[in-house]
Amino acid sequence: MRDKFLSIMRKVELGPYPRVDFIVRQAREVVRRHSLVILIVVLALSGLVRFGVAAADPSIAGHAAVAAPGTYVISCLMEPRTGPSPAPCLTGNEIPVGTPLILLGHVTDSSGNLADSGREIFQDCLLNGGPAPSIHCDSGTGVWSNIQTVHFRSPEDIRIGYGSPSTRQTIGFRFRYFGEASRIANGISNSMDVTWF
């Protein structure tokens, strides 16, 4: 085999460095063959992602068919200075400075049943790195920043503590719901402003 290779190399003049030139041409041929294989594999995988995954996992296909829009509502509670349980915020979602805020995420299906699976990601509105009213994020000049993610363990409303700023200000809040295997589709709550006075 080696003698045959050498005789071929002697017959074909490829320049002053025939072995290097031959190796380069051989490498180009290998790359050409492999790039076609890579393209076929990529197309096959993209087909699997689009069409095959739902067929391979019936829960995903079922979720897509069964999940329906729900109701996604965020509301405001305040941690009272005295008393055992949170109280609703004052009119207009106002809270005295120094009183901690508790955010309440309420997700239900179209029949009013509470969400029992999935997760909520609570967010606050930031403008130039500082807390801001929701209009700045809803209009696109600010950004919604993740505060905390909570996974459902049973049918329930989700509550998280936010704390209290030390000065008067208004901050916008919302949450995103991801149903995952839930009967309730993904959704975003209303935006809500809370004002500390």
Least confident range of 26-40, 124-138, 166-180:
26-40
Q: CA 110, CA 2: separation in Å to the nearest integer?
A: 77
CA angle 133, 137, 143 (to 5 degrees): 115
Give yes or no for a contact between 156 and 114, defined as CB atoms under 8 angstroms apart: yes
- Are 20 and 81 in the same domain? no
- Are 190 and 118 in the same domain? yes
3-state SS, residue 109: coil
Number of domains in the chain: 2
CB proximity list for 105: less than 8 A, separation 6 or greater: 72, 73, 74, 120, 122, 150, 157, 158, 159, 160, 175, 177, 189
149 domain residue, yes or no = yes
* pLDDT of 35 above 70: no
- Are 50 and 82 in the same domain? no
Q: Give the pLDDT confidence score for residue 67 in this predicted structure.
A: 80
Split at pLDDT 50, 70, 90, the class of 189 is very high
pTM of this structure: 0.64
